[in-house]
Structure 1
Amino acid sequence: MPAAGDPGEEGPTMFHPSPDLRSAKSASRTVLAVRLAWNAPSEPGAARPTPAELARDVVMAYGGRVVTSTPESLLAELESPTDTLQCAAALHDRFALERSESGLAVAVRAAVAAGEVLRQGRFLIGEAVGHANELVEMAAPGEVLFTQSVCLGMTRGEVTWEPHPGPAPEIGQPVHRLLAQPGAAVPALPFGGSSLARSRAGALGRALRRSGPLALAGTRAVARGTAEAGRRLSSLPRGQKVAAAVILATVLGTAWLVGTTRQAASIESALEKARPDEALRLADAWFGDSSGRPEARAWQGRVLADLDRLDEARERLGQALEREPGLSSREGIARGLVRTLDESGADRALLLKHRSSALERALLEATLSERYWMRWNSVAVLEKYGLGDRVDRVGIRLLDLQHAGSCGTRIRAAQELGKLGDRRALPALRDAQEKGFPGAFCNLQSAARDAIALIEP
């Protein structure tokens, strides 16, 4: 199996000798392979980041880990197939912007594969690595190819694709080609620019720093900059207006995203410090200052959910999502939506209507929460999504066995763990057999003993 390690900037090779695999850890990951080819701008200007540095920025903005990087290539791993495809789209759009801005023309080829990989330090080994590297060599400049395993794991409502029209590679599964993404923010870009916006300014970190006062100014300064830019744009020759408009839209969008991210981060920080009243004050102030922006309304709902004011939280979140459905793709908002499930008979309609990869991740995380109703309602939503096979059934039943407030729930958990037959349950079952259910008469000890007998007869 191919092994990829990080050779820094030593040369174009992507592979190193196989590492010692005795301590390697297996994980299900999505692998992104990228090839870069470029020509320098005809007129040298100010020092700019290299194509490899720009590519790293985008990958890191999507939460990816760069495994291998050379001046002409990059290999990265990410958790979500959807995020990986959108990261690949953002790479193409980012380099299209760079060409408009600096004249640096970069031809990008990308490929995505998914599967079990072995991780040993800086090395990444597995079939998905080989498939990604094979497909990226097949890809034409401007293309993103991906395997059927990626297609099966992605959120289809967030991705547009078609079967790959070229010759089929010998990798044992169909291959697809990514198309321009839904909700195009800048149609002039190869993939529409929507993936750039979803990177929430991280992928444009270097561009933001170069934008200086415009990108970091307050609302009034941005408005003044917009007016001045509009006047200058109108005076440009027709052939330059499209490129300039793309750059202006991206810089202004980045400035707005930075302000939005700062507000959201302040609220999230207050929640993490167990200061929900302060978080609500910040959210209310943001809503007032922003003339009722949907995202500010959604963050009000997020905080109200943490305060266990679930009906009010659902109302605020529903109002925000009605106006801006894409908000369910924001990690903080997704957590707020999941938090509304923390009661018997919780209304799941918002989560079923506004599915996103961020919401899927938040739901999977909630299945391992000690909050009983949030845990089981999250399982119910994931099953409606068709993702029931990704739920850790043993982990959920262990939480029931150890934390449920009723004897009956703990007994059912012990019985189910016995049927599942997973040896991970043995320590908790032995503890239940020894201690029983605290403070009440309960036949938990007998149920735990029977479950242990099923697992190790």
Structure 2
Amino acid sequence: MRTANLAIVFTEIVGYADRLSRLTYEQSQRMLRLHEALVIPLFRAFRGRRVKTMGGTLLVAFESPTQAVLCGAAVQDRIWDWNQSVPEWDRIEVRVGANVGEVRLDKGDVFGEPVNIASRVLGLAGPGEVVFAESIWLSMNRNEVDADDGGLVTLKGVPEPIRIYRVRPAQDAMVRPYGGHALARAGRLRTPDPSQLTGAEIRGHLRAAAESAWGHISEAFPLLATQARAVALGATGAVVLLVALLLAPNAVDRALSRQDLTAAQREVQAMRAGPKRTYFEGRLLEAHKDWDGASHDYESAVRGGERRGFDRLLELARGGSCEARVAAARALGRLGDQDAIAILRRMADDDTRSSPQDGILTQVLGCQSRTAARDALDQIRGIE
């Protein structure tokens, strides 16, 4: 079994279990998606790797203790920004705990006392706080983060007391809790849209709409069944022309094919807001190898009726890098479309591929695409 010295970070939705008891399944899934949409882009920005999700808790590994703590501060500032812009019922609070040490690696997961300590430190953090063990403080760049000594604490399952530190909040109560300095390093981030429907709801609405439309057509054209052959023959030419137009590459496709991302972005920005634009925004993120961002955009596009987003997710799941396959599998699971079951089953059975371009943490921890595919299959079965 391999080992590696990694900074381990836990983020957790405060009061998740209590809220879960008051929410429907769809509402709880929405809350989890919101949590992930807010924090996962920050993990990526600070070179962290999500190891696993446990309900409202995420476990993330970082090579750098400094980046781990900065990411924690950025998470809290971003959550604060979100809460200022939404109604009270849509707000969430998060706590962050961290530790660093030599962990055991097995099948994409991490084990050992450093992980246990990080989880215990998480329990000492209040809403909006970032708490970390002394091992982080001793190994990080202290010029990057101001922290207060929290004293020695006794943790369950840890033989000796350890010293903890809390990231020091900003002095001005009118600004972000940690001043926004770490958050600014993450660059421009997309604002999540938690109002998106789930796959089951979308199918229900589409089914109802289709049945209603067919009813209106039947009433308006009672002879449609006998005239269908003639209508179909007359429409063949128009359909062929329409398909040809749809299949013709547009300006964005042409720019992407020649790897002119500036031109592609200019074309996308000129598009009207909607599923088509969201799909091409995903194409841009994919070109930048932002797999999580691209998969979220493809998912949003599919929910808006842009089927090409689903096709791209299937393509990434079949042959992308490890991180691309993981992101695509998670998006396919959230969509709940049964057309994805075949490829997800293949991934769940034997997909453990990794490659040099996957990054150091992926190579160290291994590819999690098999686990992601199994989780996605469970989600789809739960929606059925």
Q: TM-score range by the shorter chain?
A: 0.3 to 0.5
Give the greater-gyration-radius structure (CA). 1
State the TM-score, normalized to the length of structure 2.
0.43
Higher relative CO (Cα under 8 Å, sequence separation at least 6) belongs to 2
